[in-house]
Amino acid sequence: MAACTCMSSQAISHTITYKRPSLEVEYDYVGIIDGLTCADRLRYEITEELTDLLVAGGVQVAIARVNNKLELLASLEAFRKEAVEGKKFMLHFVAHGNEGGIAAAEEFCQWTELRPFLQRVHAATNETLLLNMSTCKGLHGIKATDHSGPFPFFGLIGATADLLVEDAKAANRKIYEKWLAGLPVQRLVHETNSELGKELLFHISSEGYRILTEPM
């Protein structure tokens, strides 16, 4: 699989000096954490379509279908153990979400609750973790980044607004087709938005967010 290069938003890159501006890593697989209800999984089939797309492109997939907060956090611990064993992966979340966090079926998990689990996963991957959010307001996942602790991930891709199911599916198809072709994240996000005809997705790094929000 082509190396994935992740850089922070072009809109802010000229104002920030990064200690680590880019990420070069060969991922072994994509881990999908599906927090939809059983009814929504059957209705929308987002994970199924995403899996078919990745497998057709020669990418291995690991799926964790979580039905409550405990299972969500346990799935992150399971991925941490995979990372300790040397596996490299991107995590793709499929769930309902808002500015405060994401849902695991009928239970809600705050970004701050996810923070320590993501921090441990990111550390175990040698700080190569990238998140892709098929959730409403998924870019707000950057709030898992605090001002002093370890970074919870290198960066993420997500929407700032509510995400329609069809938009999520279309974005997934375009994002991964371009990713498999070797495009860096900043280019594939820009080109995906251009082809969809709307500013749907954005990308930001934990380092960039911390610098931008650091108290004066």
Q: What pLDDT is stored for residue 200 in this prediction?
A: 96
Q: What pLDDT is stored for residue 214 in this prediction?
A: 81
C-alpha neighbours within 13 Å on the C-beta side of residue 139: 17
**3-state SS assignment for residue 84:** helix
Q: What pLDDT is stored for residue 175 in this prediction?
A: 95
Domains of the chain: 28-165+199-213 (3.40.50.1460)
pLDDT digits (tens, 9 = 90+) for 23-82: 778 899 999 999 999 999 999 999 999 999 999 999 999 999 999 999 999 999 999 999
Q: What pLDDT is stored for residue 104 in this prediction?
A: 98
Under 8 Å between Cβ of 160 and 139: yes
pLDDT digits (tens, 9 = 90+) for 111-169: 999 999 999 999 999 999 999 999 999 999 999 999 989 999 999 999 999 999 999 99
